[in-house]
Copies of this chain bind each other. A is one copy, B any other.
Amino acid sequence: MATIPSHHYLRLPHPINQKTQHSLSLKPHSTHITTFQTMRAISRTNDEASVSSRVEPESYELTTAEHIRRRDSDAKESKSLRDTWRKIQGEDNWAGLLDPMDPVLRSELIRYGEMAQACYDAFDFDPFSRYCGSCRFTRRHLFESLGIIDSGYEVARYLYATSNINLPNFFSKSRWSKVWSKNANWMGYVAVSDDEEASRPRLGRRDIAIAWRGTVTRLEWIADLKDFLKPVSGNGIRCPDPAVKVESGFLDLYTDKDTSCKFSKFSAREQILTEVKRLVERYGDEEGEDLSITVTGHSLGGALAVLSAYDVAEMGLNRTRKGKVIPVTAFTYGGPRVGNIRFKERIEGLGVKVLRVVNEHDVVAKSPGLFLNESAPHALMKLAGGLPWCYCHVGEKLPLDHQNSPFLKPTVDLSTAHNLEALLHLLDGYHGKGQRFVLSSGRDPALVNKASDFLKDHFMVPPYWRQDANKGMVKNTDGRWIQPDRIRAEDHHAPDIHLLLTQLHHPS
Contact = CB atoms under 8 A, between A and B. Distances in A.
Interface of A: 1-4, 21-24, 34-38, 126, 128-130, 147, 175-178, 444, 446-447, 457-458, 460-471, 473, 475-483, 485
A359 to B, nearest CB: 22
Given A460-B176, A473-B462, A480 B446 contact: yes
Nearest to A6: B480
Given A457-B176, A460-B130, A462-B126, A3 B480 contact: yes
Given A128-B462, A446-B482, A467-B470, A475 B3 contact: no
A444 B470 CA distance: 15
Contacts of A477: 22, 37
A144 to B, nearest CB: 14
Contacts of A2: 130, 482-483
A403 B480 CA distance: 23
A483 B477 CA distance: 31
B467 A471 contact: yes
Contact of A478 (B1, B35, B464): B35
Nearest to A20: B479
Which residue, A176, A457, A463, has most C-beta atoms of chain B within 10 A? A176
Given A462-B471, A465-B473, A469-B468, A482 B21 contact: no
B479 A470 contact: no
B457 A37 contact: no
18 contacts: A1-B483, A2-B130, A21-B478, A34-B479, A35-B480, A37-B477, A38-B478, A126-B462, A128-B463, A128-B465, A129-B462, A176-B460, A462-B473, A462-B483, A465-B471, A465-B473, A467-B468, A467-B471
A485 B36 CA distance: 19
A480 B444 contact: yes
A3 B466 CA distance: 26
Nearest to A38: B478
Contact of A21 (B462, B469, B479): B479
A481 B38 contact: no
A425 to B, nearest CB: 13
Contacts of A22: 475, 477, 479
Given A128-B462, A469-B469, 13 more contacts: A1-B483, A22-B477, A35-B480, A36-B479, A37-B479, A38-B480, A126-B462, A128-B460, A176-B457, A446-B473, A446-B480, A465-B471, A466-B470
Contacts of A38: 478, 480
Nearest to A32: B479
A469 B472 CA distance: 9
B457 A175 contact: yes
A33 B369 CA distance: 62
A479 B33 CA distance: 9
A493 B82 CA distance: 59
A225 to B, nearest CB: 31
A58 to B, nearest CB: 15
A74 to B, nearest CB: 15
A128 B467 CA distance: 14
